[in-house]
Amino acid sequence: YVAGVVSDAVHRVDSQSRLAWRTGWLTYANTPLAEVVADLKRYYSGNIVLLNSQLGTRRISGSFPSHDPQAVLNSLQGVLGFEQHRVFGLIVLR
């Protein structure tokens, strides 16, 4: 966005995936893990910390149930191979 500048750029948006959270799903297409973790924090009663910034740049595509952030992290751990450590409601990813 630039103030006073009108852009003619138009891009296609997948409205179904953008609104999937309304039906209890989180849907991602080539999304950095850091962004996925930020979303999961909204659904987790504790805190989730991503210690490895390089890991945060890894890309994710898929749909996950929003009601179980731990299950989402377990699935992503299987694919990306990061470590998870849980301490008193805190989940640390590295």
Tokens of residue 79, six digits: 């694919």
**Does residue 59 sit in helix, strand or coil?**
strand
83 is a domain residue: yes
74 is a domain residue: yes
More confident residue, 55 or 2: 55
Contact 40, 24 (CB under 8 A): no
Tokens of residue 46, six digits: 């504790």
Return the CATH number at 76: 3.55.50.30
What tens digit of pLDDT does each residue of 32-80 get? 999 999 999 999 999 999 999 999 999 999 999 999 999 999 999 999 9
71 is a domain residue: yes
Residues with Cβ within 8 Å of residue 81, at least 6 apart in sequence? none
88 is a domain residue: yes
Kindly tell me if the per-residue pLDDT of 13 is higher than 80: no
Q: How far is it, in rounded angstroms, from Cα 66 to Cα 73?
A: 11
Output the pTM of the full model: 0.77
Instruction: Tell me how many domains the chain contains.
Output: 1
Q: What's the confidence (pLDDT) of residue 11?
A: 47
29 is a domain residue: yes
Q: How far is it, in rounded angstroms, from Cα 94 to Cα 85?
A: 9
